[in-house]
């Protein structure tokens, strides 16, 4: 599938898979950013992407983002739908800094994947689900 990408700066690393290790694609900062502890900033990622209708992008931090930069993505996961596809629709990483930090231009701070939209679901209220209980919260139980 071919996806159109507009780059907002000429010297940004192009989008690509990382050495066949994953089907996620890294996103880079498009400028050097300095943040103080406790500061919030939308960090520009230097791309606008024309997603096909019926698809969305999920954007999450890389596994090393917090360790390397002390950044938290404030919405935990970003979702970009296919309507956000114009020439001015640059993607951003909403960052909260837990320490003073400078992030250099072209640093890999987050990653994304493109997924097909969830099909339309119909929810039906029932008295019993008909499956065994696992004991409460997640896989660890109560």
Q: Which residues contact 108 (CB under 8 A, 6 or more apart)?
A: 26, 27, 28, 62
Q: Which residue in the list 81, 87, 89, 100 is annotated as catalytic?
A: 81
- The radius of gyration of the chain's CA atoms, rounded to the nearest angstrom, is 19
| DSSP line for the chain | ---EEEESSTTSPPP-BSTTS-S-EEEE-SS-EEE-TT-EEEEE-SEEEEPPTTEEEEEEE-TTHHHHH-EEETTSSEEEETT--STT---EEEEEESS-EEE-TT-EEEEEEEEEPPPP------S---S----SSGGG--
Is 19 assigned a catalytic role?
no
Catalytic residues: 81
């Amino acid at each position: 599938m071919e996806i159109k990408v507009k780059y907002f700066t000429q010297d940004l690393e192009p989008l690509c898979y990382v050495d066949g290790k994953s089907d996620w694609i890294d996103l880079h900062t498009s400028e050097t950013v300095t943040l103080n502890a406790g500061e919030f900033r939308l960090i520009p990622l230097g791309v606008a992407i024309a997603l096909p209708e019926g698809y969305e992008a999920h954007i999450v931090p890389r596994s090393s983002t917090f360790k390397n930069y002390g950044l938290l993505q404030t919405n935990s996961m970003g979702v970009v739908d296919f309507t956000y596809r114009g020439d001015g629709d640059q993607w951003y990483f909403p960052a909260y800094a837990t320490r003073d930090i400078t992030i250099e231009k072209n640093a890999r701070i987050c990653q994304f994947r493109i997924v097909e939209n969830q099909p339309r679901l119909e929810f039906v209220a029932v008295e019993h689900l008909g499956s065994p209980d696992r004991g409460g919260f997640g896989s660890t139980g109560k």
